[in-house]
Chain A
Amino acid sequence: MSAPPPSALHCAGVGKSFGAGRQAAPVLSGVDLDVADGEFVALLGPSGCGKSTLLMMAAGLEPVSAGAIHALGAPVRAPVRDAGILFQDPTLLPWRTALDNVLFPLAVSRRVQDADRERAEALLRLVGLSRFLHSKPRQLSGGMRQRVALCRALVGEPRILLMDEPFSALDAITRDEMNELLLDLWERYKTTVLFVTHSIREAALLADRILVLGGRPASIIDEIRVPFARPRAFALSETPAFNALCAQVHAQIRRARRHDAIAS
């Protein structure tokens, strides 16, 4: 075995097929990617291209069909500890309060202590839910629920945050708010993030680097470094430079896809 690479997340020749034998349908093939410690990387691609599958494999929730994934220096064979996950759906437990939902990951591994409770409360305050600590999910709006889920992903102080289109089920205004909140939170924690999205603007606003997934089977077809300085604010997305970058990313994706269509 070679020495584990120093990056937070490392994929080498990763492939995934569903089904077996002649019916096997390859979804991903030859995916190589690296996420440096403390880097925010967006995984951009159209719906159904396999980007969520790749994220689930990185989380250790889905086995790889080919290649290898290392997370935090160790090969991924089981669900990765020290990883926080956010799904498109908040996946809160309806009978638990916001606070108890945030504490849920801790409660399954040990007895919840006062310090845990304080940290969970602090997180909920940080995302603007100080008045809703003891509310049930059904009393919260979609955006508030997703904020609770974000706190739940952060409560174990993960070293890597895996986000699977976390805001795509929200309305546009709430989504912008969540993006701004995430920028603030990232400034504070500087956690490594792999963020799956199909929105170019969202990727450009949040990430240090955008990896474009495409083709059939899909692989990384493009990489764009986002040049904007941090800390960033939502106002960035209204600047001409931002729009120019988005247009450039858009053009690159279209070129790559056209090339891909001709090749296949």
Chain B
Amino acid sequence: MPHDGAIAAPALATPPRLGSLNLAVVRERLQVVALPLAAAACLLGLWQFAVTRLHVPAVILPPPTAILDQLVEHPRLLARHLAPTAREVLIAFAISVPVGIVLAMLVTSSKLASQALYPNVIAFQIIPKIALAPLFIIWLGIGAPSRVTYAVFISFFPVLIATAAGLRSVKPDVLKLCRSIHASSWQVLWRVRMPTAIPFIFSGMKITVTLSVIGIVVGEFIAADAGLGYLILFSSSHQQTDLGLAAIVLLCALGLALYGAVALGERVARRVFGDD
């Protein structure tokens, strides 16, 4: 092979490539996944070791293996309680997002609306909303509608704030262009402001989805005859700490899965609607 210094130099400057993937990048990605997993495994190991060595009663704190046993031994019971919780979380999330978006459109629709509504929106956020949970039982009874409404009540807010920020993030020159081509404010909203806001909406949705989980579980604590929140409450009162923790593990898994799905959507949205 002919050797040319001018060509060899840049080849040395860039690390070797494997297909389209870069080896250094692969190692970096592996580290990003492997390191937190290893750290978590260490903590669990420490937990296991401490609890068995110090003879901590299982009612106070069972070892991780006992929680795993519960997950393996009672899959049907756990699944029966996971299903209503997951369903209600999804419904609450599916309602929270459009509620937040529509309210954001309203708040940003005019200077007047913004001045009248925005301070109230912020004031609303200061309410300790957990404290209102029992009132939803009075208003809507002890069924799923009450829990879902409460979850929507606490979780639409991040989407509202993020959407409002997104709708306002359109550059002034783009708005000038729209005026110069006589675009109506309706067209500006749907063809320019909303697409610009989509990546913002997804970042709000990431917070909203975790709040929806919290809202449903709090609702189940107050009134439910099934669901992971109910199961946690039930196990605690029966001193079955390991079962309660198994339910919490499932709750985490549910939250993580939903968060991951939204985060994935956000990446796609940024690629399509983002600036770069």
Q: Which of A80, A88, A94, A104 has the most B CB atoms < 10 Å from its CB?
A: A94
B29 within 8 A of A: no
A181 within 8 A of B: no
B180–A59 CB distance below 8 A: yes
Beyond A81-B182, A94-B275, whether A89 also contacts B191 by CB under 8 A is no
A95–B273 CB distance below 8 A: yes
A85–B273 CB distance below 8 A: no
| Proximity bits, A62-103, B CB within 8 Å = 1, else 0 | 000000000000000001110101011101011100000000
B81: min CB distance to chain A, Å? 42
Give the number of residues in A that approach B within 8 Å (Cβ atoms). 23
The contact of B181 among A89, A93, A105, by CB within 8 Å, is A105
Q: How many A-B residue pairs have CB under 8 A?
A: 54
A108–B176 CB distance below 8 A: no
Beyond A89-B173, A91-B173, whether A108 also contacts B272 by CB under 8 A is no
A108–B173 CB distance below 8 A: no
A138 within 8 A of B: yes
The contact of B276 among A59, A81, A91, A138, by CB within 8 Å, is A138
Beyond A56-B176, A89-B171, A108-B187, whether A94 also contacts B274 by CB under 8 A is yes
Beyond A85-B176, A94-B274, whether A108 also contacts B171 by CB under 8 A is no
A94–B173 CB distance below 8 A: no
B11 within 8 A of A: no
Beyond A138-B275, A138-B276, whether A91 also contacts B181 by CB under 8 A is no
- A86's closest neighbor in chain B, by CB? B177
Beyond A108-B181, A108-B182, A138-B276, whether A95 also contacts B176 by CB under 8 A is no
Residues of the B chain whose Cβ atoms lie less than 8 Å from the Cβ of A108: 178, 181-184, 187, 191
Residues of the A chain whose Cβ atoms lie less than 8 Å from the Cβ of B275: 94, 138
- A81's closest neighbor in chain B, by CB? B182
Chain A, range 139-190, C-beta contacts under 8 Å to B: 156
Q: Which of B174, B181, B192 has the most A CB atoms < 10 Å from its CB?
A: B181
B195–A79 CB distance below 8 A: no
A61–B274 CB distance below 8 A: no
Residues of the B chain whose Cβ atoms lie less than 8 Å from the Cβ of A104: 181, 191
Within the assembled complex, what's the spacing in Å between the Cα atoms of A91 and B272? 16
A93–B192 CB distance below 8 A: yes
A239 within 8 A of B: no
B87 within 8 A of A: no
Within the assembled complex, what's the spacing in Å between the Cα atoms of A81 and B272? 31
Within the assembled complex, what's the spacing in Å between the Cα atoms of A2 and B192? 40
A113 within 8 A of B: no
A47 within 8 A of B: no
Within the assembled complex, what's the spacing in Å between the Cα atoms of A87 and B179? 13
Within the assembled complex, what's the spacing in Å between the Cα atoms of A59 and B195? 26
B181–A109 CB distance below 8 A: yes
Beyond A104-B181, A108-B183, whether A93 also contacts B173 by CB under 8 A is no
Given contacts A85-B180, A94-B276, A95-B195, 6 further A-B contacts (CB under 8 A): A56-B176, A61-B180, A95-B272, A107-B191, A108-B178, A109-B182
A–B Cβ pairs within 8 angstroms, 11 of them? A59-B180, A61-B179, A87-B176, A89-B173, A91-B173, A95-B195, A104-B191, A108-B178, A108-B182, A138-B275, A138-B276
Residue ranges of B at the interface with A (Cβ–Cβ < 8 Å):
171, 173-174, 176-184, 187, 191-192, 195, 272-276
Residue ranges of A at the interface with B (Cβ–Cβ < 8 Å):
56, 59-61, 79-81, 83, 85, 87-89, 91, 93-95, 104-105, 107-109, 138, 156
